[in-house]
Structure 1
Amino acid sequence: MCVATVGFVSILGVSLLWLPEPRVVEPRVSEVNRPVTLLIWTHPFGHYSRPPDCFELYQIDQCTLTDDARAYPHADAVIVHHREVATGKADLPPEPRPRAQKWIWMNFESPTHTPRLGHFEDVFNLTMTYRTDSDIFVPYGYLFPRARRNKGAPNHFVHPLRVPTRSRLYRPRLVVWVVSNWSESHARVAFYYRLTRHIRVDVFGRAGRPDAKGQQRGAPGRKAGAIPVVLGPSRQNYERFLPPEAFIHVDDFPTVRGLARYLLMLRRNPSRMRRHLDWRGSYSMHQASFWAEHYCTACNAVMRNRGRTDVVQHLAGWFES
């Protein structure tokens, strides 16, 4: 493993949210809710997964999930994953939709990888994304103090974080970037080129580069004890979600060379490195289960919004803001 993970990420890339209160799936009281049928219109990215049992996983009762299109006429809601309908691999559900049926727009990609948003204005009733202002908010994960119980989340979704021992701080690789989407027009790619003039950065992931090494995807740097190096949103924005010492922001340094010198210093100074890692001893991590948690959270939201029939307006302007 490496000492620092160069995230070069937007707020999407900070996949572990530090929230004042855990935003988790809460069980519903079945006696006061009639059953809900939720139709999965397409499986995200064409990867089939069996619809989960929401009661078994999250104690959500009276929720039926199905991917059988024949259920459309009587489904209370339909989840539509953006990628399939945007690329033409699937059509939107047929109109006119059944009375009071809700269409849910689901997307967990960044705005630069969310094409044709303008084609879906005034179509959906609810949004489900990693944005905190979504109608249905499902982060990639979040942190919570160990002293506080993570309500509604089974133990296999909760991972206590550990502070690496002194011997574990000495690692053969110092800086690594795990990247799946690579474009020469990206600011993070330009920053990568500037940083590699001063320090070696090992590149892993499905980046499509000829010299990309390995095919690791979604490397769990938070679980591994890496220190994220981030750019994009301001430090104040990141600190809404993470303890201030949990990451290194490129804006903390006047030059790229200054950042590189700081990272090299961390290798020589384990006590200074520990200042970026000691916070871990007080937190656990909830890691979202793709896509079971999303479907069950959506079903729960449909129960809470039975009478809502308004339409999402300005989808593109909102998501690209």
Structure 2
Amino acid sequence: MEPPLIIKNLHFLDNMFNMTMTFRQDSDVYRPYGRTEALREPQSFTIPVKSKLVAWVVSKWYPGVRRNEYYKELNKYIPIDVYGKSHMKLSWDDFYTTVSQYKFYLAFENSIYKDYITEKLWSNAFDSWAVPVVLGTTRKNYERFLPGEAFIHVDDFPSAKDLADYLIQLDNDDERYKNYFNWRSLYRVRRETGWDNHYCKACRALRQAPDYQVIPSLEKWFLEGTNV
């Protein structure tokens, strides 16, 4: 479930595996962090009352990753409330009630990697009913898994200042802001959490697999995902 930034020394596992189970859609066993599922009938929804602007929950500051520098630049033009280690404290019990007060949530990934769209979007933002501002893989890659109008991508803007100006515009225009929730009348978010689900899906795949591929270099296969 983690990208190459975190998973090291995969070369020690060369010539040991024939099947993969990761968040990448081209894995033998696909295990995404979340997915959207079409509803049988359109449903109405109510957006929680918002009293704050932008939130970000982060605990690990990996050196040299893009999200750190982008946050610093964005924060010059718009206030961002940061929670987590070395920032404002936030318990899991208060997580969703706190984040749901914000109009926008920075779903900034620690890696730009194929199909790597984590709980930062699927849970932190969507479960809190905050519009996710994403930084990670390409918009095209995001739109393989969720509606394009469900999020704001940093790459859609020439600079962090342009993004900040846009968020401020949305803050002052309720109708335009609400457009980022229209998809919820047609889709719902599904997440399968817990290792029991992972193991069961792996067992089903093993029983049903007609054959296995050969993966001489697990490291090489995994690093291919960086080319997004």
Matched letter for residue 254 of structure 1: P
- Distance in 1 (alpha carbons) for counterparts of 2:90 and 2:172: 28
Partner of 1:282: 186
Q: How large is the Cα RMSD of the aligned pairs?
A: 2.2
Q: 1:211 aligns with which of 82, 87, 96?
A: 87
Please give the secondary structure, in 2, of the residue aligned with 1:143: strand
Unaligned runs of 5+ in 2: 96-118
Any stretches of 5+ residues in structure 1 without a counterpart?
Answer: 1-107, 149-159
Find out whether 1:122 has 2:15 as its counterpart.
yes
Aligned to 2:52: 173
Q: Does 1:193 align with 2:72?
A: yes
Contact 2:19 2:212 in 1 (8 A): no
The answer (yes or no) to whether the contact 2:171–2:177 under 8 Å persists in 1 is yes
Judged with a 3 Å threshold, the aligned counterparts in structure 2 of structure 1 residues 198 and 126 are, in CA distance, closer, same or farther, namely: same
Aligned residues: 196
Larger Rg: 1
Structure 1 letter corresponding to 2:33 = Y
Contact 1:162–1:225, Cα closer than 8 Å, also in 2: no
- The aligned amino acid for 1:315 is L
**DSSP 3-state at the match of 1:189:** helix
Alpha-carbon displacement from aligned partner over 1:59-78 (angstroms, at most 9, x marks no partner): xxxxxxxxxxxxxxxxxxxx
Structure 2 residue 183 is the aligned partner of structure 1 residue 319? no
Is 1:237 paired with 2:141? yes
Letter in 1 for 2:142: Y
> When the two structures are superposed, what TM-score results if normalisation uses the length of structure 2?
0.78
Q: Which moved more, 1:284-293 or 1:125-134?
A: 284-293
Q: Secondary structure at the match of 1:312?
A: coil
Residues 1:164 and 2:46 aligned together: yes
- Cα contact 2:53–2:171 (8 A) shared by 1: yes
Alignment of 1:228-307 (within 5 A): 228-305=132-209
Map of 1:109 onto structure 2 = 2
Question: How big is the shift at 1:316?
Answer: 1.3
Q: Secondary structure of 2:203's partner?
A: helix
TM-score scaled by structure 1? 0.56
Aligned counterparts of 1:177 and 1:243: Cα–Cα separation in 2 = 22
C-alpha distance 233-289 of structure 1, shift in aligned 2 (>3 A): closer
Quickly say closer, same or farther: Cα 1:162–1:225, change in 2 above 3 A: farther
State the alpha-carbon separation in 2 of the partners of residues 299 and 222 from structure 1: 30
Between the two proteins, what is the percent identity of the paired residues?
38
The answer to whether the Cα contact below 8 Å between 1:229 and 1:248 also exists between their aligned partners in 2 is yes
